[in-house]
Structure 1
Amino acid sequence: MALTIRKAYLRHAEYYLNVLRTADNLYLQGKEHVRSGLNLFDLEKENIKLGQSWTSEHFQDDQKITWICANYPIVGSNLLDLRLHPQELIGWLNVARLASHQLKDKFTEGFILNNLGVAYAALGDAHKAIEFYEQALLIISEIGDRHIEGTVLGHLGNAYNNLGNALKAIEYNEKYLVITSEVGDRRGEGVALGNLGNAYNNLGNTLKAIEYNEKYLIIMREIGDRRGEGAALGSLGNVHNNLGDAKMAIEFFEQAMIIAREIGDLRNAGNLLGNLGFAYSALGDSNKAIEFYEGAMIIAREINDRRNEGNLLGNLGFAYTTLGDADKAIKFYEQALIVAREIGDRRNEGNLLGNLGIAYTSLGQTNKAIEFYEARIEIAREINDLRGESIAYGNLGAAYGNLKNNRVAIQYHEQQLSIADSIGDLRNKSNALENLAEDYYLLGDKRKAGELYENQLNVLRGNSDQHSISITLGKLGAVYAALGDGQKAIIYYQEALQIAQGTDAEFRKPLLIEPLLLRVFLCHSSRDKSLVRELHNKLVNYGIDAWLDEKKLIPGQKWETEIEKAIKSSDAIIVCLSSQSVISEGYIHKEIKYALDRADNMPDNEIFIIPCRLDSFDDEKMPHKLRKIQRVDLYSANGFDKIIQSLRVRAKNINLLLK
């Protein structure tokens, strides 16, 4: 009887191994066969898992069972990657590795080692993935299978890309591309092109990123690989998002989402919802971004995707940071940090520490922010995350800039530049040059600032990010105007205007050759005049065009009309409130209404209105709509510094400089 049951289990395992192979082959045929393969797998999933489970318990009993056990994760590798959680797949692969070793089957062992790398990469453990890929490469190279060798090289490239080493990623994927041509692997060719596109995107070379991903998309559509087509569309969305074209990014993400739903790829559907959140955040619609992140969170928890759950918690933190709610952002970052540490995702742990630093910076707690940035650098060095280390140096430089220690800021920004340059990261190199230019400008060395902005401009001209080019041109105009070189300032201003207006036409309108100042309206009650006058004087000393009625109005002007005009033309509005003004009637309430009406037409994540308490009073007494905006207490020790910090962010967003 026992022998009969054993034979039944063996026949069952062998039969469903062939069912799995058939389903995977259908999926690989592409086009209309994709759905057939997925349907067959989904229909027989429990029987397939039962067959694999039995062989994993009995693979040492005889050679036939050993062979079946070793082949389960191989014959269905594409569908298993799509349908199983990486941790479950690792279980299948580990027992298959033991079986292949027992069979002395080097090819199968190499294939399994490669797939173990893929599974660990999906969990975010790039270092462990690389260990398995390198073991696989040794075996596959030894037996001379060029097809699998190319695949492993591509996976190695992706792992290094995830670690921030895009140059090494390009090196491996170029080798992969050569092999695909040699062996006639059209699908592999498309994947290699897509990998190269992602690496160039991480380097900030968006023109090359688009070129490679468009070729990837053409091949995937040609061979009917729906999953590959969705991956190419998603990558193109990421590139356009980085270019600042969020609307185009959304179109690509939505096309990719249709495919993810069609093939039942829940993990990718969750990732795409997160990407859509990023795109809407870039459009300034943080509330819609939060809706997408929450939708993605439901999927992540449903499929137990802890890595993506952690990423999404971080995304929610970022969204609340842009909404000005730093306290809520910190809560989400801390939850995300727990997940990252729980699953051992060191790279995301480092990113989250950096984000916590940014959140504490927005609260004016710069010294605490520095602690988080330094912790991020420690992790980046530990895991050899060069890009993360470079970004953290940039954050540290900005923090010391906030502390008015610009010489220390320069040291950190130079380290940021050095690393970015060494790994060919054009985007971060551009940021570092911009940071250094601002540091030198604040130290009064405008000529050095101009040189650095010109270097940044040369980096930016290497890709199609016209918006960033326009901003840098405007800053160069302001710098050379401040240096008294009006002619050079006009040249830069003209080109900035041409790009901003999307035309090559010559501009004949007279241009300002003085550096533009940030215009700030001081909304206040007359009973608080003395405190507001003091604030006005401090702002003016910072090179800010602060609008105060007693300083700006001249005899004969209609003051109500001029105030309304000033509010409409201001770059930021500080609403100064005291315990007396919030309970009294007066024109201040009309000014607040004008300001709020203007703010309604601005993106959610843009700093525009800054509620400012002049003395202590209950927040409930503050006008209702102002309660939703992060306030500052001018009477606190660092109150004025916090105002300057917010105005710096606003100035940077609209292409202006502060002292």
Structure 2
Amino acid sequence: MTQQHLFSSTKAKNYKLFGFYLLILISLLYPVTAGAADITQQLHRPKNGFFRQPSRDDADSLLRVAEQQYAAGYPEKAIDAGLQALDIFHLVGDVKAKGQTYNLLAKAYIQLGRYKEGEDALRRHLAIARDTKDFQSQIFALNNLGTLLLQYGEPKIAGETIEDAYTIADNVKNIEGEGLSLSNLGLVAARLGDYNKAIKLYETALIFRRRTGDTQGEINTLNNLGDAYLAAGNYQDTISSYGAAMRMAKSIGDRSNQLRAIDGLVTAHSAGGRYERAFDLLQERLTIAQELQNPREELNSFASYAKLYEQLGNYPTARNFYERAIILSQSLEDNKEEALLRDRMTQMLRSKK
């Protein structure tokens, strides 16, 4: 072998060896993307490198954290903790706890607008409830699934789903489930435009909800009843229903339902020409929003003021409130709402010319 050939052979070997070490270096710097299972294991692996099998207590703690985060208005964090709890419940074989966790995850997903993931979690909760013959969980899972389907614009399937829930509740004499199912069937009837049927269903639902002392459920049904009366043009009963909902919501500190009732009352009083009362209610609404330091609800209050002043033909004041609402929509980076408000203000200004 010539010296040149020997040099070439040695050089080739060196290149191969260099390439081998380069591949090792790249693999260290850029590891293969971990799968979901690997990430879950990393979350549960202590930093000291010693692996400890997660316990049921760990899962319970994570589920409590998830519930607290959801109640505090942090659905993303609730999902993070809930998924970790779910992994452990699966490892320890606690099927019932998995169902509870799926239920919480469903609510968090839906609150974030992640409806498909919410539906999947609800269906998994329902499947577990059926396997374990947990009738109460079946009733609530079916109702939640039905209302979600209603949001999808599928009232027929939603109605059938909620009817299944009502049948189970009636068979096992679960009064709470009967009240919930009847109230949700009222929502289906209202969505289909049958307001008289909706009113009857809501009124029957109220009987069950009052029998169980379900104040929160009663408030919700009263607001639904107010919606149905308003759609039917029955302003007297509209005001009665919303008024009862507003007072009850205020008594228990349910600000969300209180604001919803006020919105209905403003519409009803305005339609009846009772503008002074409508303005009093709007002032109350704005005060609540400011106390909550909730810019979204402040925006809604300003938009309602603008609409009412526009209705009265007071365009300069209406424009002022539209502009205040637009500023808040910009701070919230809500481009869609900003465009809607600008369009409404532009139409108003054109119409007055």
TM-score scaled by length of structure 2: 0.71
Q: 2:219 aligns with which of 381, 386, 390?
A: 390
> What residue number does 1:232 align with?
65
> What residue number does 1:492 align with?
321
For 1:301 and 1:387, the matched residues in 2 are separated by 27
String of CA shifts for 1:459-510, please: whole Å, max 9, x gaps: 2333354433322322222223433445544453344333333369xxxxxx
String of CA shifts for 1:284-311, please: whole Å, max 9, x gaps: 4544432222122222223332221211
> 1:474 aligned to 2:307?
no
For 1:491 and 1:274, the matched residues in 2 are separated by 44
Q: 2:146 aligns with which of 287, 302, 317?
A: 317
> What residue number does 2:265 align with?
436
For 1:445 and 1:516, the matched residues in 2 are separated by 27
String of CA shifts for 1:35-67, please: whole Å, max 9, x gaps: 3xx6xxxxxxxxxxxxxxxxxxxxxxxxxxxxx
What's the secondary structure of 2:291's corresponding residue? coil
For residue 409 of structure 1, report the CA deviation from its aligned partner. Answer: 0.7
> What residue number does 1:290 align with?
119
Q: 5+ residue gaps in structure 1? A: 1-30, 39-223, 505-510, 519-542, 544-659
For 2:241 and 2:110, the matched residues in 1 are separated by 29
Pairing of 1:443-482 with structure 2 (within 5 A): 443-463=272-292, 465-482=294-311
For 1:360 and 1:517, the matched residues in 2 are separated by 34
Task: Summarize the Cα distance change of 1:281–1:364 in structure 2 as closer, same or farther, 3 Å threshold.
Answer: same
For residue 351 of structure 1, report the CA deviation from its aligned partner. Answer: 1.3
Pairing of 1:131-530 with structure 2 (within 5 A): 226-240=59-73, 247=76, 249-463=78-292, 465-486=294-315, 488-502=317-331
For 2:285 and 2:297, the matched residues in 1 are separated by 10
Task: Summarize the Cα distance change of 1:233–1:404 in structure 2 as closer, same or farther, 3 Å threshold.
Answer: same
For 1:285 and 1:225, the matched residues in 2 are separated by 27
For residue 356 of structure 1, report the CA deviation from its aligned partner. Answer: 0.2
String of CA shifts for 1:195-228, please: whole Å, max 9, x gaps: xxxxxxxxxxxxxxxxxxxxxxxxxxxxx75413
Task: Summarize the Cα distance change of 1:420–1:265 in structure 2 as closer, same or farther, 3 Å threshold.
Answer: same
Task: Summarize the Cα distance change of 1:303–1:230 in structure 2 as closer, same or farther, 3 Å threshold.
Answer: same
Task: Summarize the Cα distance change of 1:424–1:237 in structure 2 as closer, same or farther, 3 Å threshold.
Answer: closer
For 2:245 and 2:346, the matched residues in 1 are separated by 29
* Highest RCO, 1 vs 2 (Cα 8 Å, sep ≥ 6): 1
Task: Summarize the Cα distance change of 1:410–1:517 in structure 2 as closer, same or farther, 3 Å threshold.
Answer: farther
What's the secondary structure of 2:248's corresponding residue? helix
For residue 314 of structure 1, report the CA deviation from its aligned partner. Answer: 0.9
For 1:296 and 1:276, the matched residues in 2 are separated by 10
Q: Is contact 1:478-1:514 (8 Å) kept?
A: no
For 2:140 and 2:332, the matched residues in 1 are separated by 40
Task: Summarize the Cα distance change of 1:248–1:228 in structure 2 as closer, same or farther, 3 Å threshold.
Answer: closer
For 2:75 and 2:261, the matched residues in 1 are separated by 24
For 2:298 and 2:77, the matched residues in 1 are separated by 19
Task: Summarize the Cα distance change of 1:311–1:490 in structure 2 as closer, same or farther, 3 Å threshold.
Answer: same
Q: 5+ residue gaps in structure 2? A: 1-50, 334-340
> What residue number does 2:16 align with?
none
Task: Summarize the Cα distance change of 1:348–1:480 in structure 2 as closer, same or farther, 3 Å threshold.
Answer: same
Task: Summarize the Cα distance change of 1:514–1:257 in structure 2 as closer, same or farther, 3 Å threshold.
Answer: same
> Partner amino acid for 1:389?
E
For 1:388 and 1:475, the matched residues in 2 are separated by 27
From the two aligned structures, give the one with the greater helix fraction. 2
Q: Is contact 1:478-1:515 (8 Å) kept?
A: no
- The CA RMSD measured in Å over matched residues stands at 3.2
> Partner amino acid for 2:70?
G
TM-score scaled by length of structure 1: 0.40
For 1:517 and 1:296, the matched residues in 2 are separated by 48
For residue 313 of structure 1, report the CA deviation from its aligned partner. Answer: 0.9
For residue 407 of structure 1, report the CA deviation from its aligned partner. Answer: 2.2
String of CA shifts for 1:208-254, please: whole Å, max 9, x gaps: xxxxxxxxxxxxxxxx75413321222312442xxxx6545544543
Q: Is contact 1:230-1:259 (8 Å) kept?
A: no
> Partner amino acid for 2:266?
A
More deviation, 425-434/470-479: 470-479
Q: Is contact 1:280-1:286 (8 Å) kept?
A: yes
> Partner amino acid for 1:482?
Q
Task: Summarize the Cα distance change of 1:369–1:517 in structure 2 as closer, same or farther, 3 Å threshold.
Answer: farther
For residue 363 of structure 1, report the CA deviation from its aligned partner. Answer: 0.9
String of CA shifts for 1:117-155, please: whole Å, max 9, x gaps: xxxxxxxxxxxxxxxxxxxxxxxxxxxxxxxxxxxxxxx
Task: Summarize the Cα distance change of 1:516–1:333 in structure 2 as closer, same or farther, 3 Å threshold.
Answer: farther
Q: Is contact 2:59-2:86 (8 Å) kept?
A: no
String of CA shifts for 1:494-540, please: whole Å, max 9, x gaps: 44333333369xxxxxx86966779xxxxxxxxxxxxxxxxxxxxxx
What's the secondary structure of 1:501's corresponding residue? helix
For 2:205 and 2:134, the matched residues in 1 are separated by 24
For 1:469 and 1:335, the matched residues in 2 are separated by 40
What's the secondary structure of 1:411's corresponding residue? helix
For 2:101 and 2:302, the matched residues in 1 are separated by 34
For 2:323 and 2:174, the matched residues in 1 are separated by 47
For residue 405 of structure 1, report the CA deviation from its aligned partner. Answer: 1.4
What's the secondary structure of 1:401's corresponding residue? helix
> Partner amino acid for 1:233?
A
Pairing of 1:80-119 with structure 2 (within 5 A): none
For 1:272 and 1:482, the matched residues in 2 are separated by 48
For residue 334 of structure 1, report the CA deviation from its aligned partner. Answer: 0.9
For residue 357 of structure 1, report the CA deviation from its aligned partner. Answer: 0.3
What's the secondary structure of 1:344's corresponding residue? coil
Pairing of 1:575-590 with structure 2 (within 5 A): none
Q: Is contact 2:230-2:268 (8 Å) kept?
A: yes
